[in-house]
């Protein structure tokens, strides 16, 4: 596998490409979550490029509406039609023929780094959290490394697999709304997975993150890795949003069981490992801590 080649002398592709998937497409301005997220990413010491996948019904924002990204190239791709580039590189045109939420995992030519940072448009993370997660991913490039974790379980009452976002002493899924993974999985997801799996995602417009977790665990036979975040971190399934809906969870449980049936077994693996920043809670001067923003709740 590509992420094992470095031990055989291949040159690793350093840094990461941030891929932001936009479904809602709220008005873009300095106070918008997407605007703030792009600004946060540009401050990262490891980011090489930002790729925005615009899947919203609203038209693409004008170039002048996006935050300045200085030396970081910003590419905005409309999954329904055109592509606009800001920063380095010319404007180009792209057309995608199969509209699906799985398009967030296509092997885009703009992704030239091994590391992909997958983000939802409303992810709330600071630069320290991004940089720390990337440093962890570099040690585990074959795994999904990220923040919001979920768990699967066997429900005896329903004789089926269940899915939960409740706090547990283990997890088996790290959502791709804020996670790093190797770009090779984009190729596998798009070209190797059963068409039935991809069709399930397309019909439900949901569950692509669960399917990516099953794929990675199937390939590696290892669980994802959760990294710590500020206690104030919120994500779609635990806050007030369309994703925090009973039908949403029922649908995801249905997907989970369909996926397991197609795979022929349950690939997900439980883990209770969590990676915390070095000196995170040690009695050391805050100025000496490498990722001190992670401790600043609400920053």
Q: Which residues are catalytic?
A: 209
The residue whose two tokens read 């997907």 is 255
Contacts (Cβ under 8 Å, ≥6 apart) of 274: 226, 227, 228
For the beta carbon of residue 55, count every other beta carbon within 10 angstroms.
21
27, two tokens: 């008005």
HEC per residue, 130-171: HHHHHHHHHHCCCCCEECCEEEEEEECCCCEEEEECCCCCCE
Q: What SS3 class is residue 174?
A: strand
Nearest C-alpha neighbor of 145 from the set 168, 129, 161: 129
How many CA atoms within 13 Å lie on the side-chain side of 224? 33
Tokens of 68: 């300045």
Q: Which two tokens stand for residue 145?
A: 């490394």
CA distances from 99 to 131, 141, 153, 201 (A): 32, 29, 31, 11
């Amino acid at each position: 596998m590509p992420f094992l080649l470095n031990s055989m002398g291949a040159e690793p592709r350093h840094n990461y490409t941030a891929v932001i998937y936009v479904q809602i497409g709220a008005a873009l301005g300095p106070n918008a979550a997407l605007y703030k997220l792009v600004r946060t990413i540009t401050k990262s010491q490891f980011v090489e490029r930002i790729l925005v996948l615009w899947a919203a019904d609203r038209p693409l924002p004008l170039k002048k509406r996006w935050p300045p990204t200085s030396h970081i190239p910003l590419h905005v791709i409309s999954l329904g039609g055109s592509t606009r580039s800001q920063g380095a590189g010319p404007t180009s045109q792209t057309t995608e023929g199969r509209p699906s939420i799985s398009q967030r995992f296509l092997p885009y030519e703009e992704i030239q780094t091994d590391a992909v940072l997958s983000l939802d448009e409303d992810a709330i993370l600071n630069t320290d959290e991004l940089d720390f997660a990337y440093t962890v991913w570099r040690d585990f490039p074959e795994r999904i490394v990220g923040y919001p974790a979920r768990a699967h379980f066997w429900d005896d009452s329903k004789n089926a697999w269940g899915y939960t976002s409740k706090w547990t002493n283990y997890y088996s899924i790290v959502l791709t709304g804020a996670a790093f993974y190797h770009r090779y999985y984009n190729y596998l997801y798009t070209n190797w997975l059963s068409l039935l799996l991809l069709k399930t995602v397309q019909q439900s417009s949901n569950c692509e993150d669960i399917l990516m977790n099953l794929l990675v665990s199937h390939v590696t036979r290892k669980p994802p890795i959760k990294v710590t975040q500020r206690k104030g971190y919120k994500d779609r399934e635990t806050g007030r949003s369309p994703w925090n809906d009973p039908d949403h969870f029922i649908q995801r449980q249905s997907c989970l069981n369909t996926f397991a049936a197609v795979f022929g077994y349950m690939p997900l693996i439980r883990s209770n490992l969590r990676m915390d920043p070095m000196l995170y809670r040690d009695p050391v001067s805050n100025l000496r801590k490498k990722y001190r923003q992670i401790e600043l709740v609400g920053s």
